[in-house]
Structure 1
């Protein structure tokens, strides 16, 4: 299969028309048809290849080019040194449980501390990599040994622990392990009969489906989760209300990914109205849902819809949003960079990427969008930006 055939294969697998894909990369439908039919035999230059890979959610550029000499890690994050230890902890299920079980209050305190450490750390994967193996083992053991109501509480804690593990695993070369923790979190949450744990597991599972390109499944799991928790919101605390808002935004994100602008902004508005019902300084540790994050969410929706002017306007308004979590702030700044990338404002892209690196180096190091934008600036950007881009590329272990 030649280059054009590969483009067509991945486009059809993603469920995109030629018009949609061409629009996302700033080309005409006639140009894309010529590429796919083989009439344009010369392979596009790197910037267009990177845009195609991003639009088609291709992690390995060789899947498009057929050139296996270009390493995967140039476009995806490297595996963290703690990945094997986390994998071993997840896989070591206590089939014959024995040992000293932790008090549930102790496990709760450790889990809360792990969330706080994640949000405060510029290198949050390194922080989590040191905490997760023991936390996973202890949570699994508690769920296996407790009985009755304590067991249901332990299962809720285990589901949340798996969610924290998914934060560590995101954007790493460990898709099998990410799916394992996402599905185990859902099973544990269902068995716990805890509405908050279930909502949390739904949020993480929906993200796994969307990142895998199964948008229908992502939408369905979020809608099902909302239906289950909706009757309990009025009698529950602020955390469940926040989860309802977070799930609404996930619907907005998924709609934006498939180009449904009306649905995307409608769900965003629903989430924004829920955010206004939260206390002013509230910030949910699992999802980052809060009043302060809604402007950042607006940037993401506009970027995913490829609304260049709107995304730039939202980015300009939200670039300095006081998001208290360093990794979440870093991710937001990458979205700001993507907004400027749509407008071909390369200086603003570079500035946003440098700000993202300052906020959270590990966030940008593992983010495929950031790596692609950095590589393009380093290779084909204006001369006055290339030096800065190459410094950043070295810092995020891109130029190998």
Structure 2
């Protein structure tokens, strides 16, 4: 049929045609792509029509980021550039976690552990995630047993109260699973876990559990690209409307997940390029953070007073403001964040800010710090991988060497 979108691999087509096909597959208008790569809509049109030659590597990477292309070969057509960007390598524990999710037992031949026992194991798992440099390995080892036992607890609950408690624990297990599955080559499994998590949260009738599941679902929508931004906004807005009336009498955890959702709304606004709304939501989240004690730290979202400066860097970076990104990156304090993966993620956001501000050497040094904090975070982060890959072709020999060394450590160029 003539109206079927062709497969970019089916025939040897040019870069511009591939870019147009991939843009249309995402349902993205030219003007949107142009804004995301800081070009005009007419520039995008001329590239797609072949009136301009293929851009350089830096622009190719920016286009890949905007289109959420996971493999550069899909965009360039060159098998020599078959490098995954936004999907990290499959973790060795992935198969066991996948099997546990897919098993979903209908019956159990043994008594399920009590919900409080599962919660104690969850507290240990979250603590291990925040403290271990190889956090995916640690969490991946714990998840299969947690998934099986939490599912059994729901199946075997005798009363309504027991079932709600078990559903809350199961939803939290699925939340932990999403952190393990993020940026791995299993998007369908990630969505399956997200959907089960939010259903279990609703069955629990627990505000905090519902908020956590909504927070993760909103992230999943936003990371799926611009065509899903409205869905992310719907999730955050509706959940905030549910949670905010509860705040006067709420626990610290409920206030924290409310603040985390307020920031998520700002994050999506920043992705849209809506600076006023992005900073307004950041201000709301900052006000919520100030209602928490100085040493409070939410175990799932990392929401706290300390993390708000890191969130400011993210907003500035997503708004593509180089000067503001670098300013926020320089003033943000990383050492006070009591989580290795969150500190590493913050370092990556700082590196993005420094790169936007034309400071690639500082960006690379910051990524080295991210690697030292949590190697598995930088290994699976698409933005970090993009910066490193770009700098492997830098004009400066010293910067090329440093980028290649980091690329080797994170396994970027072994695909």
TM-score, normalised to structure 1, is 0.95
| Distance in 1 of aligned mates of 2:109 and 2:164 | 19
Do the aligned partners of 1:256 and 1:304 also contact (CA within 8 Å) in 2? yes
| Distance in 1 of aligned mates of 2:395 and 2:131 | 33
| Distance in 2 of aligned mates of 1:165 and 1:381 | 41
C-alpha offsets along residues 301-353 of structure 1, whole Å, 9 cap, x if unaligned?
Answer: 11111111111110111153521100010001001010111122111111111
Report SS of the residue matched to 1:280. coil
- Whether 1:267 and 2:278 are equivalent positions in the alignment is no
Q: 1:212 to 1:24 in 2, by over 3 A?
A: closer
Pick from 198, 201, 209 the counterpart of residue 197 of structure 1: 209
Q: 1:44-193 residue pairs with structure 2 within 5 A?
A: 44-73=55-84, 76-148=87-159, 149-193=161-205
- Whether 1:291 and 2:308 are equivalent positions in the alignment is no
| Distance in 1 of aligned mates of 2:18 and 2:157 | 52
Do the aligned partners of 2:313 and 2:353 also contact (CA within 8 Å) in 1? yes
C-alpha offsets along residues 9-47 of structure 1, whole Å, 9 cap, x if unaligned?
Answer: 44455565545544543445543332122111x322222
| Distance in 1 of aligned mates of 2:375 and 2:341 | 8
Pick from 265, 272, 278 the counterpart of residue 251 of structure 1: 265
In structure 2, the residue matched to 1:208 is: 220
| Distance in 2 of aligned mates of 1:107 and 1:291 | 29
Report SS of the residue matched to 2:184. coil
- Whether 1:34 and 2:9 are equivalent positions in the alignment is no
Please tell me the root mean square deviation across aligned C-alpha atoms, in Å.
Answer: 1.7
Tell me the CA shift for residue 69 of structure 1: 4.2
Do the aligned partners of 1:292 and 1:321 also contact (CA within 8 Å) in 2? no
TM-score, normalised to structure 2, is 0.92
Report SS of the residue matched to 2:326. helix
What are structure 1's unaligned runs of at least 5 residues? none
| Distance in 2 of aligned mates of 1:364 and 1:102 | 35
Pick from 233, 240, 248 the counterpart of residue 219 of structure 1: 233
| Distance in 2 of aligned mates of 1:261 and 1:12 | 26
Give the total of aligned pairs: 399
Do the aligned partners of 1:256 and 1:305 also contact (CA within 8 Å) in 2? yes
| Distance in 1 of aligned mates of 2:277 and 2:333 | 25
In structure 2, the residue matched to 1:239 is: 253
Do the aligned partners of 1:346 and 1:381 also contact (CA within 8 Å) in 2? no
What are structure 2's unaligned runs of at least 5 residues? 1-12
Do the aligned partners of 1:206 and 1:217 also contact (CA within 8 Å) in 2? yes
Runs of 4+ in structure 1 displaced over 6 angstroms? none
Do the aligned partners of 1:296 and 1:321 also contact (CA within 8 Å) in 2? no
| Distance in 2 of aligned mates of 1:234 and 1:178 | 34
Comparing 24-33 with 387-396, which one deviates more in the overlay?
24-33
Q: 1:16 to 1:175 in 2, by over 3 A?
A: closer
| Distance in 1 of aligned mates of 2:317 and 2:333 | 14
Report SS of the residue matched to 1:38. coil
In structure 2, the residue matched to 1:396 is: 410
Do the aligned partners of 1:319 and 1:336 also contact (CA within 8 Å) in 2? no
